[in-house]
Amino acid sequence: MSRVTEVRYVGYAVPDLEAERAFYRDVWKLKEVQDEDGLVYFATQGHDELYVARLRQADERRIDVVALAADSNEDVDALHEQVVASGCKIISAPHELDQFGGGYGFRFFNPDGIEMEISAGVERGSARELEEREAIPEKISHVVFHSPQHKEITQWFIDTLGFRLSDWIGDFMSLIRCNSAHHRIAFLPGPACLNHVAYDMPNVDEMMRGLKRLRRDGFDTVWGPGRHTAGENTFSYFVTPNGFAVEYTAELEEVDDDNWEPRTFKPAPDIMDQWGTGVGGPQTMPRPEADPGLFKPAGV
């Protein structure tokens, strides 16, 4: 079965583009790589994915697209067939993409109505070794959603896109993978929307130095710093000027993709955070509200 192999980028529409742009560039420390037709693209410097975030201005904030990678055009075609067979609505069938970076891909609404893209052959960007104490994100790590059908959609990602179950926390959070990283996507209950997008920092020290920069620039942690148990990754969550949650994480566990046995953790404070020394908790994260873009093509 053809499967998705990576998370590529998240496209956002925001009312205050300039504030969001300045945040990602000057505070979060992504590199602005393109500004074209009202779309601003950002890359991480430690990985050659051409871009990991895309912004545009709109009256209402929404998720425009969450893009995933496949290894080949044949996999894109096969995944398209799998999505069609699952009954999901296709926005555009596989074709040569004319957006920044090109490639071959298709768009569809997942069962909750979030617009998704799967592509292959996208132009690669540049990457460099990050220096110690730069404290900037290396690459995109994972995307977490809320879903009114979080169990069913978890199974849909497994059956249709080839994700594999890594762990459950109780019956309220699923963590799924598409390669050897413990999780690339996770689901929580709630109205269909994004919970957060996480970026890998090179190590825990760099995450803490990044946290210092965020705090200095007026973006204090809404939850963290701490260390999760499922995935063993450290975390610190922040909120962008337009209200989207983002995370600096480090040391996400690598697993044996073919043989990992999923676990179910009993929900408890020290499962959510082994350290227990940070501020906040899930209750201090932005309140989930149904994304206004559900089942509405972003058009970009």
Tokens for 259, please give them: 């043989």
The smaller minimum CB distance to Fe ion, of residues 200 and 247, is found at 247
Interaction mask 142-181, Fe ion, x per CB under 5 A: ----------------------------------------
The smaller minimum CB distance to Fe ion, of residues 160 and 234, is found at 234
Q: Can you list the alpha helix ranges (DSSP code H) found in 35-94?
A: 73-85
Angle at 64 (CA atoms; ends 46, 124), nearest 5 degrees: 30
* Residues 234-273 interacting with Fe ion (rule: CB under 5 A): 247
Give how many residues touch Fe ion by CB under 5 A. 2
Alpha-carbon gap, residue 62 to 212, rounded angstroms: 29
The least CB distance from residue 186 to Fe ion, in Å, is 7
The least CB distance from residue 233 to Fe ion, in Å, is 7
Should residue 198 be labelled a site residue for Fe ion when binding is judged by CB under 5 A?
yes
The smaller minimum CB distance to Fe ion, of residues 125 and 231, is found at 231
The least CB distance from residue 144 to Fe ion, in Å, is 5
Tokens for 96, please give them: 């040569």
Task: Give the residue nearest to Fe ion (CB).
Answer: 198
The smaller minimum CB distance to Fe ion, of residues 68 and 198, is found at 198
Question: Are the beta carbons of 231 and 249 closer than 8 angstroms?
Answer: no
The least CB distance from residue 77 to Fe ion, in Å, is 31
Question: Are the beta carbons of 154 and 168 closer than 8 angstroms?
Answer: no
The smaller minimum CB distance to Fe ion, of residues 153 and 252, is found at 252
The smaller minimum CB distance to Fe ion, of residues 12 and 237, is found at 237
Alpha-carbon gap, residue 293 to 287, rounded angstroms: 17
Which of the ranges 97-105, 195-203, 256-264, 292-300 carries the binding residues for Fe ion, by CB under 5 A?
195-203
Distance from chain centroid for Cα 191: 17
Alpha-carbon gap, residue 211 to 193, rounded angstroms: 25
The least CB distance from residue 260 to Fe ion, in Å, is 18
Residues with Cβ < 8 Å from 55, sequence gap 6 or more? 11, 12, 13, 14, 17, 20, 21, 24, 39, 40, 42
The smaller minimum CB distance to Fe ion, of residues 108 and 248, is found at 248
The least CB distance from residue 57 to Fe ion, in Å, is 27
Question: Virtual CA dihedral for 297, 92, 195, 179, nearest 10 degrees?
Answer: -170
Which of the ranges 55-63, 174-182, 196-204, 260-268 carries the binding residues for Fe ion, by CB under 5 A?
196-204
The least CB distance from residue 216 to Fe ion, in Å, is 23
Interaction mask 7-26, Fe ion, x per CB under 5 A: --------------------
DSSP E strands in the chain: the ranges are 6-14, 31-36, 39-43, 53-57, 62-69, 90-96, 104-109, 115-120, 139-147, 164-169, 173-177, 185-189, 193-200, 223-227, 234-239, 245-250, 263-265, 279-280
The smaller minimum CB distance to Fe ion, of residues 75 and 247, is found at 247
Question: Virtual CA dihedral for 180, 185, 188, 192, nearest 10 degrees?
Answer: -170
Residues in touch with Fe ion (CB under 5 A) = 198, 247
